[in-house]
Amino acid sequence: MFTTLITCAQLQALQQTGAPLMLIDCTADLMNPAVGAQQFLQAHLPGALHADLDHDLSAQGDSESASGGRHPLPRREVFAQWLRQMGLHADMQVVVYDRNGQNFCGRLWWMLKWAGHAAVAVLDGGLSAWTQAGGAVESGPATPRTPSDWTLRPALRTLVSADEVLARLGQPDQTLIDARATPRYRGEVEPLDPVAGHIPGALNRPFGLNLDEQGLFKPAATLRAEFEALLAGRDPASVVHQCGSGVSAVPNLLAMEVAGFAPTRLFAGSWSEWCRDPSRPVAKG
């Protein structure tokens, strides 16, 4: 079972065993939502399915939502119905990937853990690493799978609400890590949300820092040293990850697990939910 990362070589070996496997392409573009599906049609791993960030991995209305923000999480029951339509079975190893620095596929990795499916891993390096390793690709639409009877299991990852973040603000049992680019964190620019700045006390670690020059996750020891330096003595168990809308926070969460830390928490509504309530404090700089 692969539960964090899987290399291209490991995936190729797994494919040869004939083990139950589901590949899901999560390529997306925040500025042009149609791009992900278009790029999937152009090239994807053979047999892969496609997950759309806005339609499949985000709630379609308040009645379906488990969080706030620009990309609200669908309730677990709603997500489970989508997984059944995709044909997921309990014994399947799921491998998720994208063309976006393991950013958008991290969302689905976390959601599957939240739904109780442990056997899910991110393809390290994504489609680029796969093709560089000689992996085959195909074009055209995905081949639909037969719907399954997959059922929810106890959540393996923890979701934190805006109210919970506010209640623990400044307390030692909560350390916020903001995954946005540093100019956004500082409040110097804000291209997406109505207010610029960050949650008071949050530490900044742009999610791209987890990758090396080849687009692969850095070695576990390197990641551990970097997070320990960022935390500067704070308890790793206190960490809550956030970003703009809860998507790019996940690479930091995943990187901490690759580094050997226990699973940490996610504030999925993130800055986009936080800043819409003028009663919540805002910091800059």
**Looking at the annotation, which residues are catalytic?**
243
| Cβ atoms within 10 Å, residue 75 | 15
The pair of three-digit structure tokens given for residue 165, joined into one six-digit string: 């973040």
Residue 272, CB-side half-sphere exposure with 13 Å CA sphere: 21
The CA distance from 85 to 216, in Å, is 31
Residue 30 corresponds to which amino acid? L
| Cβ atoms within 10 Å, residue 66 | 19
Bridge partners (DSSP) listed for residue 24: 49, 96
Bridge partners (DSSP) listed for residue 176: 240
Cα of 87 vs its chain's centroid, Å:
21
- Any alpha helices (H) in the chain, and if so which ranges? 8-17, 35-42, 76-86, 104-114, 126-132, 162-167, 182-186, 220-231, 250-258, 270-274
Q: Angle between the 104-114 and 76-86 helix axes, to the nearest 10 degrees?
A: 110
The pair of three-digit structure tokens given for residue 164, joined into one six-digit string: 């919970």
The CA distance from 70 to 55, in Å, is 12
**DSSP classification of residue 62:** G
Pairing assessment for the beta strands 265-266 and 239-242 based on DSSP bridges:
parallel
